[in-house]
Amino acid sequence: MITLTICNHKGGTGKTTTAIHVAAALGLSGHRVLVIDLDPQGFLTRVMGIPEPPEEASVLALFNPSLSLQEVQRHRVGGFDLLPSSTGLTRVMRQLNRPTDVFWAKEALAKGGVDYDVVIFDTAAAVTVYSLNALVASQHVLVPVTPEYQPVLGAEQTAQTVHLVREKLNPTLHPPLFLFTQVDARKRTHQLYRRYLSRRYGDRVLETVIRTSASLAQSFEDGSTVFTQDPYSRGARDYANATDELLRRMLQDRAAAVAV
């Protein structure tokens, strides 16, 4: 099973759009995919058309030792399964203040009972117990980044967090991969920031970029994605290519780790 966190400490960088479209692209190519919405704002859950679920049928089940993931209803949307967010996450966060509270998601997946090829966590733009749970439960991290100052800074801070998690909590976590999103080819800043991040992180910056796309800016709120709504759009093509590259890179990272 591949476990992947989508994370950038800066907001609005395309995390949720990326989680949905990477999951959908993997689903289309025959992978069994589970998306876990760990963002208390639950934007991914909402745009996939899922109403506020009962807490025990939401991502809060991960933090409830009497429930196993197997028993929790997952929603079939856009070619993948979704464990929806809950507004209760904000309240429960206050109780999750022990050092061991970062291990809940990892333990829930380790208990088994669910059979997926890929599990993807969508996270909020902040370092919280939830984003740490995602990073502790993952082997891979993808950092969507828009070619602007603050998102690039957020991406660098995210890379530092990943490094800390790797050192202290999860040695199986690979260094992050970066994906430029909302790229407007007419603006020179994209090349500028791309060169900057590539100098710092080398080939961890994916070659594929996601361009600005009107069809990606729409939210359908009925569980469909750009692959079904507008399959020939540049948004669909860019995410199909980015997913191919991402999958290849994750498999390379795994192979390299086994060889060591």
Binding site for Mg ion (CB under 5 A): 15-16, 43
Asked whether position 16 contacts ligand ATP by CB under 6 A, the answer is yes
Q: Which of 12, 49, 175, 223 binds ligand ATP (CB under 6 A)?
A: 12
CB-nearer residue toward ligand ATP: 237 or 254: 237
Q: Does position 126 bind ligand ATP by CB under 6 A? A: no
Tokens of residue 206, six digits: 């994916």
For residues 83 and 118, the answer to whether their CB atoms sit within 8 Å is no
What is the C-alpha separation between 242 and 51, in angstroms, rounded? 30
**Gap between the Cα atoms of 256 and 120, Å rounded:** 21
To the nearest whole angstrom, how small is the minimum distance from the Cβ of residue 132 to Mg ion?
Answer: 17
Instruction: For residue 92, give Cα distances in angstroms to 38, 169, 231.
Output: 12, 22, 39
Strand partners, 122: 6, 37
Residue 11 interacting with ligand ATP (CB under 6 A): yes
Q: CB–CB of 105/62 below 8 Å?
A: yes
Rounded Cα distance, 91 and 251, in Å: 37
Does residue number 182 form part of the binding site for ligand ATP (CB under 6 A)? yes
Shortest gap between Cβ of 52 and ligand ATP (angstroms)?
18
Contact in structure between 181 and 14 (CB atoms under 8 Å): yes
Applying CB under 6 A, among 33, 69, 125, 247 the residue interacting with ligand ATP is: 125
Q: Which is nearer to ligand ATP, 69 or 132 (CB)?
A: 132
Q: Is 181 in the site for ligand ATP (CB under 6 A)?
A: yes
Residue 21 sits in the site that holds ligand ATP (CB under 6 A): no
The DSSP output letter for 3 is E
- Figure out which of the listed residues 23, 137, 210, 246 binds ligand ATP, where binding follows CB under 6 A: 210
Under the binding rule (CB under 6 A), the answer on residue 213 touching ligand ATP is yes
DSSP classification of residue 211? B
Q: Which positions touch ligand ATP (CB under 6 A)?
A: 11-17, 39, 43, 124-125, 181-182, 210, 212-213, 216-217
